């Protein structure tokens, strides 16, 4: 179908449906039109990626306990965490940072455990770590999870040679000092490394560089990141934070610079009332609930702005946006180290995850990778651990519900939503996206942002007929509800039956403050 004509056809279909509804005297305020036989780009599974930094208890205690631990483990990696991450089909994992990446020297983390140098994590809490979790342990973790490695190189305090040799150590099967060293350390065959970042936040903790200065540095480093032994690196240049369009312009405007990377990173955190306050993860009122979602929805504007710049210089969309840090950032839990960034995770965070994943799905033509910050025990994590205990957070369950979108084709939708109003501000009450998988099943993901009102939405299906509908819902009695080590199942998915199908129109009644995912089959 002609892409230019499609929006007008969709508008015509929508107008016709609305007119028919008016004739029947049953106009729906909330309506989601899905065109089942007009699919868009593939939703990259890597949009559902995660981030593990040497920060607080993300690595040590969260992932790594060592082979001598009484906690059940495989090669020192927690078995309970492995099982949980496999369940959500984690597609890629970013490591070792974050700000830590630009202070990390990879040779400190290889070789016999007893001979590795201890280092002080100057970025996060001044914690001294023994480097027992390094390159070999991370790559083993990726192998056990069946996910792709996303390694962040050190530009801020490293050298071109250091980064170049790390790539050679990881991926080359030629005879060289690096491959001999790898084999001496117990790994005969090279690994496959899909993603490699050339620095992190180099406008800030990665060196306080200007965009033009970083562009030159990035070109130099990228020139020495070779593709060895059939491995092809997807090189990711450091991109901007939130609305810094000037940075994106600087990296995209010069064809020679643009030719040195395949992806451009983007970071954005939702911080209620600014960095000086941040707000509590579990003790908040409706104003903070509303403000969190208002900030979450800014992600759509941010992506549109950066995509517009990239479209000017890369109309064929050969470069991907890599949103490798996103999520809510609240104050740490009382009594914990300020530098460890440990925060609880409530129903509010689950809806935040749904909003972001829906937005990333809708931008699947440009957004190719995204990484929630962070995976375990840090910021908006999917897992919390305490000694031998593990808790799955509400955010975890959203990733489990949404995994059906991975590698599916985005479906064209048109949504009309009532507003969720608080004070003199308003935001759409409903977030949504839809896809069709290889088996022809449609999945619709929805979030009701309003904590006070259930919402009924009509969903006409254009282009095909479906007669079997199943679903899950995630909600709770209180908007501040969370899963603790004492009560680990306060917020978890349940079967959802708040829908009916009649003459090709699906009617869905969503509870207040909820996330719903539906599957439609023929």
Q: Which long-range contacts (CB under 8 A, 24 or more apart) does 312-319 make?
A: 312/252, 313/252, 313/253, 313/255, 313/258, 314/252, 314/258, 317/365, 317/366, 318/262, 319/252, 319/258, 319/261, 319/262, 319/263, 319/264
CB 111 within 8 A of CB 214: no
Provide the 3-class DSSP secondary structure of residue 103: helix
Provide the 3-class DSSP secondary structure of residue 358: helix
Residue 369 parent element (H or E): strand 367-372
Concatenated DSSP letters for 265-304? Answer: EEEEEE-BT-TTTB--SSS--HHHHHHHHHHHHHHHHHHH
Bridge partners (DSSP) listed for residue 51:
94
CB 229 within 8 A of CB 168: no
- Using CA atoms, how far residue 416 sits from 31, 225, 244, 246, in Å, is 5, 47, 30, 33
Token pair recorded at residue 508: 């869905």
* Contacts of residue 115, Cβ cutoff 8 Å, sequence gap at least 6: none
CB 500 within 8 A of CB 508: no
Among the listed residues 325, 407, 478, 519, the single catalytic one is 325
Concatenated DSSP letters for 218-268? Answer: HHHHHHT----TT---EEEE---BTT-HHHHHHHHS-HHHHTT-SEEEEEE
Among the listed residues 53, 137, 168, 201, the single catalytic one is 201
Residue 326 parent element (H or E): strand 320-328
Measured over all CA atoms, what is the biggest interatomic distance in the chain, rounded to whole angstroms? 79
Rounded Cα gap, residues 410 and 360, in angstroms: 11
Rounded Cα gap, residues 440 and 457, in angstroms: 23
What's the start-to-end Cα distance of the chain, in Å?
Answer: 24
Q: Is 472 a catalytic residue?
A: no
Tell me the backbone φ, ψ of residue 233, rounded to 5 degrees: -75, 135
Concatenated DSSP letters for 481-500? Answer: -B--SSSTTSS--EE---EE
Rounded Cα gap, residues 150 and 32, in angstroms: 36
Token pair recorded at residue 376: 């375990």
Concatenated DSSP letters for 114-134? Answer: GGSPPEEETTTTTEEE---S-
Q: Is 325 a catalytic residue?
A: yes
CB 351 within 8 A of CB 511: no
Provide the 3-class DSSP secondary structure of residue 438: coil
Catalytic residues: 201, 325
């Amino acid at each position: 179908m002609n892409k230019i004509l499609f929006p007008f056809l969709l508008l015509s279909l929508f107008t016709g449906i609305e007119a028919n509804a008016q004739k029947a005297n049953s106009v729906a305020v909330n309506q989601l039109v899905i065109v089942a036989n007009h699919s868009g780009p593939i939703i990259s599974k890597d949009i559902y990626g995660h981030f593990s930094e040497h920060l607080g208890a993300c690595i040590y205690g969260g992932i790594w306990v060592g082979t001598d631990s009484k906690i059940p483990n495989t090669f020192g990696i927690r078995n309970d965490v492995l099982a949980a991450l496999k369940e959500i089909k984690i597609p890629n994992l970013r490591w070792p940072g974050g700000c830590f990446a630009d202070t990390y020297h990879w040779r400190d983390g290889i070789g016999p455990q007893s001979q590795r140098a201890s280092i002080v994590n100057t970025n996060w809490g001044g914690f001294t770590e023994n480097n027992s979790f390094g390159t070999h342990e991370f790559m083993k973790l990726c192998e056990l999870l069946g996910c792709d490695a996303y390694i962040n190189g050190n530009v801020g305090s490293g050298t071109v040679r250091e980064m170049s040799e790390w790539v050679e150590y990881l991926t080359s099967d030629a005879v060289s000092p690096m491959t001999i060293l790898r084999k001496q350390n117990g790994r005969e065959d090279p690994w496959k490394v899909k993603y490699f970042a050339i620095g992190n936040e180099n406008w800030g903790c990665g060196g306080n560089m200007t965009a033009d200065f970083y562009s030159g540095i990035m070109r130099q480093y990228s020139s020495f990141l070779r593709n060895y032994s059939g491995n092809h690196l997807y090189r990711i240049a450091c991109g901007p934070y939130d609305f810094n369009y000037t940075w994106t312009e600087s990296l995209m405007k010069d064809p020679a610079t643009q030719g040195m990377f395949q992806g451009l990173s983007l970071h954005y955190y939702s911080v209620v009332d600014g960095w000086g306050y941040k707000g509590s993860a579990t003790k908040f009122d409706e104003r903070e609930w509303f403000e969190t979602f208002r900030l979450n929805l800014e992600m759509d504007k941010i992506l549109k702005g950066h995509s517009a710049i990239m479209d000017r210089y890369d109309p064929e969309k050969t470069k991907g946006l890599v949103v490798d840090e996103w999520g809510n950032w609240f104050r740490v839990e009382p009594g914990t180290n300020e530098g460890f960034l440990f925060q609880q995770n409530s129903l509010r965070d689950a809806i935040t995850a749904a909003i972001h994943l829906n937005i990333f799905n809708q931008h699947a033509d440009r957004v190719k990778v995204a990484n929630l910050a962070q995976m375990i025990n840090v910021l908006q994590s999917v897992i919390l651990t305490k000694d031998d205990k593990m808790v799955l957070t509400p955010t975890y369950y959203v990733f489990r519900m949404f995994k059906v979108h991975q590698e599916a084709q985005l479906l064209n939708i048109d949504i009309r939503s009532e507003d969720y109003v608080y004070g003199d501000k308003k935001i759409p009450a409903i977030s949504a996206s839809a896809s069709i998988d290889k088996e022809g099943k449609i999945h619709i993901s929805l979030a009701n942002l309003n904590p006070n009102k259930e919402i009924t939405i009509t969903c006409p299906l254009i282009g095909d007929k479906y007669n079997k509908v199943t679903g899950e819902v995630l909600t709770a009695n209180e908007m501040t509800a969370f899963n603790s080590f004492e009560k680990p199942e306060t917020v978890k998915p349940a079967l959802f039956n708040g829908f009916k199908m009649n003459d090709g129109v699906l009617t869905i009644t969503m509870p207040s403050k909820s996330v719903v995912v539906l599957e439609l089959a023929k």
